[in-house]
Amino acid sequence: MAEYLVDIKNERLSFFTPAGEVKALNDVSIHLSEGEVLGIVGESGSGKSVTAYSLMGLTAHPGKLIGGTLEFNGHYINDMTEKDMRKIRGNEVSLIFQDPMTSLNPVYTIGNQIEEVILLHTDKNKKQAHERAKELLELVGINEPEKRLKQYPHELSGGMRQRVMIAIALACEPKLLIADEPTTALDVTIQAQILELMMELKDKLGMAIIMITHDLGIVASMCEKIAVMYAGKIVEYGTTDEIFYEPKHEYTKGLLKSIPRLDAEEHERLVPIEGTPVDMLNPPKGCPFAPRCDSCMKICLREMPPVTEFGDTHYTQCWLNQKAQFEGGKVQ
Amino acid sequence: MAKYVVKRIAMAIVTIWAVATLTFFLMNMVPGGPFLSEKAVSPQAMAALEAKYGLDKPLSEQYVTYMTDALHGDFGDSLKQRGRTVMSIIQTKFPVSAKVGGMSILVAFCVGVPLGCVAALNRGKFLDNLISVIATCGIAVPSFVVCTVLMYFLGVNLKLLPTFGLTSWKHYVMPVMALSFYPMAYIMRLMRSSMLDVLGQDYMRTARAKGLGQFKILFKHALRNAILPVITYLGPLTAYTLVGSFIVEKIFTIPGLGGEFVGSITSRDYTVIMGTTIFLAALMVVMNVIVDILYKIVDPRIKLN
C-alpha cells in the first residue's frame, strides 16, 4: 500500500499549441492522505485545474505529460492506458465542476445520469441502480427523490443541480473527490449549503477532497492543507494555519491582503496584487512572480528560487526566504 | 397536448388559406392565359373556352367559386391536360416523386449525419478538410450539373446504370444520388458545426469524468444534442423533396410531380398551379408539426405551445 492516496512528484505538463509550448505545470508535487482535504488556490491559468485533471487522465487535447510521476490509490497514472483510466474515473476518483447549469446533459433525466455511472462501475442491475440513485439523492439532501429522478436538469435550480452532480460523483464511493470551483457559479447562501454538504459527506464516507478555488474563505474553512499555485508552480505549500498565519511567499501574502476583512478599519482599502498574470508562452527566466513582487531582488529576475522548507509540512519557493536562511547561517 | 393540436390545426388552416389566396391573385396578375398558343385561337372559341372554365367572370367571383369548391375537396379539372382532374394528377404523380424523394432524404440523412460527426471529431485534420470540400461542392454545384455528370460517367461511359425511366432499382440510383447531394452536403455542415458546439459543452466533460467509453459518450451524450438543428432542417426539406424536383425529373424522365410545378406555371394551367401549391403548403405544414413533435421527443426542454 502506498504511503499516500495521491502522490504527484515533480509533474511537468505542457500544452503544445501552434503558438508554442505552454508550460502549464512546472515541477508540481502534491501528496494527500486518505480523508484529507487539500485546497489548491491561485488565479486563473495558474494550473490548478490542470493538476487535478491530469490525475484523472483528463488533460485536454494539446496537453501532454512530459515529466514526473503520478500515483493514485496504488495506480501509476503514467503507465495506465485510457481503458484502465476509465475504470477509475467516476469510480475511485470523481470530479465536480464549476457550473452545474451546464454540467448535466439537458436531454436526459437526472435518474438516467446518476444510474449511468452506477451501472458502469458496479454490477448492480437497473432496479438496484435506481434504488441506489434514490439513496444518493437523499444523501445529498434532495427532497422527493423519486420525483426528481424523473425530472430533467432544466427543471431543477442551480443548487439542486450541484447536489445532483455531487450525487453522481459519490455514486461509487470514490476515495478522492476533486471539486473544481464547486461553488463559484452559485449564490452565497447556496454556496454555504453545498460546502457544508461536502464536508458532511466527507466525514460520512471518509474520502479525500482536492478543492480547487480562488476563494480563500472556502479554503480557510474547509481545507487542512493548502497549495498556492502561480504560473504552473506551487509557490507555497503548508497547513491552513501555516498559510494563513505565517505566509512566506510574497504572492501568498498578497492574496491574503486582498481578502476583505470584517474587522477592517473604516476607509481601509483592499490591497490588490498589481500587474497582470504572466504570459505562459514566454515565462520570465527567474521567479515568475518577480515582475509583480514588491520585494523583488536582482536575483529573482535571473534565477528560479530553490525550495525553502519550514518544518515537515511547509515549504515555499522564494529568494527572500533563502536570504533569511543565509543570514541566519542555516545554509542548506 | 390537445390544446396544442387544436392550435396547430387552426394555424395550419390560416397558413394554407393565405398561401392559396396569394397564389390565386399573383397567378392571375401574370400576363397570358391558359388558352394562348402559337396557333391563334379564334375569338369565339376563346370566349367559349373561358366561359366553360368560368374565366370570363370577375376575379373576385372566380376566387369565391374556387375556394368554395376547394373546401368541398374539388380542385377542378386541369385546363391543359384534357380529361384529368387536378386531384388525379397529384394522386398519380406524387407517389412517384415521393418514392424517389423519400429515398434521397434517407440517403442524405444516413450519409450526412455520420460524415458531419466524423468531420467534427477530426477537426482541422485531413478528413475534416476532405468532407468540407465535398460539402461545399454539394451546396455550390447546381443539380443539373450533378445529373449530367452522373449520367455521363455512370450512364454513358461506364454503362452501369440506365439513364431514363423508373422500372427497376437501378433506375433509382442516379436520381436519388442527384437529389440527395445538396441536402446531404447541408446536413453534413449542420452536423459538423453543431457537433463541434456540443463537444465543447461541460456535460461532455462530465461524461468523460464518469469514466464512460468513447462510443457511449458520442452516441448517448453528444449525438442527441447535436442532431437538433438537423431535425429542424429536415422538416421543410422533406416537404420540398417529396414533391419532386423539376430538373432531376426532366433529366431522368421521371413522371413525377416536380415537373407539374414548373410546367403548370409556364402553361398557365391555373387549376394545377393552385392544386400543387396548396398541396405543397399542406405538406409543409404537416412536416413542421412532425418536426415540432420530434423536437419535443429529442429535447425535453422544448415546450409545445
Find chain A residues with C-beta within 8 A of B208's C-beta: 58, 89
Q: Does A107 touch chain B (CB under 8 A)?
A: yes
Q: What share of chain A is helix, strand, coil (3-state, %, to 5)?
A: 40, 25, 40
Between the alpha carbon of residue A288 and those of residues A10, A64, A181, A295, A323, the distances in Å are 18, 22, 24, 13, 18
Q: Does residue B172 surpass a pLDDT of 80?
A: yes
Render each residue's pLDDT in chain A as its tens digit; 332 residues: 457 899 999 999 999 988 888 888 988 998 899 999 999 998 888 888 899 889 888 887 788 888 889 999 888 988 888 899 999 999 999 999 888 888 999 999 999 999 999 999 999 999 999 999 999 999 898 999 999 999 999 999 988 999 999 999 999 999 999 999 888 888 888 888 888 999 988 998 889 999 998 888 888 888 999 999 998 899 999 999 999 999 999 999 988 888 877 777 777 778 888 888 888 888 888 888 888 888 888 888 888 888 888 888 899 998 888 877 777 655 44
Q: Does A102 touch chain B (CB under 8 A)?
A: yes
Q: Rounded to an integer, what distance in angstroms lies between the CA atom of residue A212 and that of residue A201?
A: 18
Residue A329: predicted pLDDT? 58
Judge whether B305 and B4 are in contact, CB under 8 Å: yes
Chain A to chain B Cβ contacts (< 8 Å): 67
Residue B268: predicted pLDDT? 87
> Which three cell numbers, joined as nine digits, stand for B115?
460524415
Q: Per residue in B92-133, pLDDT tens? A: 999 999 999 999 999 999 999 999 999 999 998 999 999 999
ipTM score for this prediction: 0.84
Decide if B209 and A88 are in contact by the 8 Å CB cutoff.
no
A295: left (phi over 0), alpha (psi -120 to 50) or beta: alpha
Q: Does residue B279 surpass a pLDDT of 50?
A: yes
Judge whether B251 and B242 are in contact, CB under 8 Å: no
Residue B293: predicted pLDDT? 86
Which class would CATH give B97-258?
mainly alpha
Q: Does B298 touch chain A (CB under 8 A)?
A: yes
Residue A43: predicted pLDDT? 85
Find chain A residues with C-beta within 8 A of B301's C-beta: 106-107, 152, 154
Residue A216: predicted pLDDT? 86
Q: Which amino acid is at B132?
A: S
**Span B184-211, mean pLDDT?**
93
Decide if A90 and B211 are in contact by the 8 Å CB cutoff.
yes
The CB-side HSE value for B276 (13 A sphere, CA atoms) comes to 28
For residue B189, give how far its alpha carbon lies from the nearest alpha carbon of chain A (Å).
23
User: Per-domain residue ranges for chain B?
Assistant: 97-258
Find chain B residues with C-beta within 8 A of A91's C-beta: 211
> Which three cell numbers, joined as nine digits, stand for B51?
366561359
Strands laid side by side in the A307-310 sheet: A93-96, A176-180, A208-213, A37-41, A225-230, A233-239, A314-317, A307-310
Q: Does A99 touch chain B (CB under 8 A)?
A: yes
Residue B114: predicted pLDDT? 95
Residue A1: predicted pLDDT? 46
Please identify among residues 155-214 of chain A the ones whose CB lies closer than 8 Å to any CB of chain B. 165, 168
The single-letter DSSP state of residue B2 is H
The single-letter DSSP state of residue A13 is E
Residue A332: predicted pLDDT? 47
**Span B268-280, mean pLDDT?**
91
Residue B76: predicted pLDDT? 86
For residue A156, give how far its alpha carbon lies from the nearest alpha carbon of chain B (Å).
12
Nearest to A210 by CA among A22, A48, A29, A26: A48
Who among A116, A152, A154 is closest to B210 (CB)?
Answer: A116
Decide if B221 and A105 are in contact by the 8 Å CB cutoff.
yes
Q: Rounded to an integer, what distance in angstroms lies between the CA atom of residue A1 and that of residue A20?
A: 40
Q: Does residue B31 surpass a pLDDT of 70?
A: yes
HEC profile of B189-249: HHHHHHHHHHHCCHHHHHHHHCCCCHHHHHHHHHHHHHCHHHHHHHHHHHHHHHCCCHHHH
Q: Does B211 touch chain A (CB under 8 A)?
A: yes
Residue B179: predicted pLDDT? 92
Residue B261: predicted pLDDT? 87
Decide if B202 and A86 are in contact by the 8 Å CB cutoff.
no
Give how far the C-alpha of residue A151 lies from the chain's centroid of Cα atoms, to the nearest Å: 30
Q: DSSP 3-state assignment of A189?
A: helix
